[in-house]
Amino acid sequence: MVIVMQQGASNQQVDAVIGAVESEGFRAAVNRGEERSVIAVLGVVDSQKVPLTDRFESLDGVERVTLISEPYKLSSRSYRPEGTVVRVRDVEIGGNRVVVIAGPCSVENRTQMLEAAEAARAAGASLLRGGAFKPRTSPYSFQGLGVAGLELLAEAREATGLPVVTEILDPLDLEDVYRFADVFQVGARNMSNFRLLERLGETDKPVLLKRGPSAKLRDMLQAAEYIMKGGNHQVMLCERGVVGFDDACRNTTDINAIPVLKQWSHLPVILDPSHSVGHTRWVPAIARAGMAAGADGLAIEIHPNPPKALSDGGQSLRPEQFLALMEQLRAVARAVGREL
Ligand code: PEP
Ligand code: MN
């Protein structure tokens, strides 16, 4: 249930509605929007309580009460119709300017990380990515440098001025990752790790939430809800391809997800064409498609020497390929009325 206040409703009226919601045993979350405030009623609204809508609707300052049938509330577009802009240092994600997150799959060593970071900066990326804790399918594959990798990311941030996005695999690493990251990445394999999501909801750093390889969009929005219910509303949704039946590509890019998520939710939507496609040669086409479909940002893997990469070399762009792609993306952004 969402209670939409009238334009110009007073703080006192908003507080009175919150009081009424809480006295019925629900939690209230308020978006004090510029135009009007919206109050999300959190908890299970059973059918016997539906008459409550009439009660809430009769309170002073209330414009309308909407029963949301979806199981997500805080991530729903109706809670924040104006859209969310996530702020990472001086970068804004979710506004008219589209952002590009670029960097290697894994932080491997100092030279590789600094070269990749410089390539990201030189081509005009806004954020730097790099995994220090890697979720690998095989336990015998490179698992990441851990804290040493986080330190290299911090050095790369220092050198380029680009804020850092890095994956957290386990709630046990929270303190370490918090110390170095500007944005927590939750990988596809962890989208439904609800304890991890809840822990991130208690922090004050933005979260890039990647879609599980076979998760429905509604599941993803409920995963976002796990983070947001703790008070952290700085969440970005990342499409990274889903499991399909064809094996030409690593995954199947669900381009549909972009406009659907933009309509269902107020959260910024990012496309990761690299993991979606899994082959360097097709990454640019899908990156352009994502931007044309309305993504607020792209997350792209780059590497100074892809054949030598310890992970995902086969889908990484070399610096000059990335530079060329950024030029194309600027043209697409212009064509759809956005900046890059
Ligand atoms: C990654 O971003 O390097 C990664 C492992 O992605 P995903 O979780 O989408 O597979
Ligand atoms: Mn990767």
Share of the chain above pLDDT 70, in %: 99
CB 117 within 8 A of CB 160: yes
Is 90 exceeded by the pLDDT of residue 48? no
- Please compute the mean of the pLDDT values over residues 290-314 and round it to a whole number: 98
Return the pLDDT at 49.
62
- Token pair, residue 326, equals 């950024």
- Can you give the pLDDT at residue 50? 63
Question: How does pLDDT run across 154-169, given as a tens digit for each residue?
Answer: 999 999 999 999 999 9
Rounded to the nearest 10 degrees, how much is the dihedral formed by the CA atoms of 152, 156, 157, 160?
180
Q: How far is CA 161 from CA 29, 86, 146, 177, in A?
A: 35, 18, 22, 19
Residue 135 in contact with ligand 1 by CB distance below 6 A = yes
Q: Distance between CA atoms of 331 and 55, rounded to whole angstroms?
A: 52
Ligand 1 pocket, residue 303 CB under 6 Å: no
Mean pLDDT for the chain overall: 96
Tokens for 162, please give them.
């680009």
Q: Is the CB of 130 inside a 6 Å radius of any atom of ligand 1?
A: no
- Residue range 93-150, pLDDT digits in tens: 999 999 999 999 999 999 999 999 999 999 999 999 999 999 999 999 999 999 999 9
Tokens of 334: 């212009």
pLDDT at 230: 97
Please state the CATH superfamily assignment of the domain spanning residues 2-66 in this structure.
Phospho-2-dehydro-3-deoxyheptonate aldolase; domain 1 (3.30.70.1140)
Backbone angles phi, psi at 143, to 5 degrees: -100, 0
Instruction: Determine which residue's CA is closest to atom 1 belonging to ligand 1.
Output: 105
**Helix residue ranges, H only, the chain:** 11-23, 52-57, 110-123, 147-160, 174-180, 194-201, 217-228, 257-264, 273-277, 283-292, 319-335
DSSP three-state, residue 85: coil
More confident site: 49 or 311: 311
pLDDT digits (tens, 9 = 90+) for 4-34: 999 999 999 999 999 999 999 999 999 998 8
Domain limits, the chain: 2-66, 86-335
Q: How many CB atoms lie within 10 A of CB 76?
A: 23
Query: What's 173's DSSP letter?
Result: G
Predicted confidence at residue 300, as pLDDT, reads: 99
- Residues near 275 by Cβ (< 8 Å), separated by ≥ 6? 188, 240, 241, 250, 251, 301, 312, 315
Residue with the nearest Cα to atom 9 of ligand 1? 188
Could you tell me the pLDDT band of residue 325, with boundaries at 50, 70 and 90?
A: very high
> What is the pTM (predicted TM-score) of this model?
0.96
Mean pLDDT within 37-44 = 92
In this prediction, residues 224-235 reach a mean pLDDT of: 98
Q: Is the CB of 212 under 6 A from ligand 1?
A: no
Over residues 257-264, mean pLDDT: 98
Ligand that comes closest to the CA of residue 303: 2
> What pLDDT is attached to residue 306?
98
User: CATH number of the domain at 86-335, please?
Assistant: 3.20.20.70
Ligand 1 atom with minimal separation from the 240 CA: 9
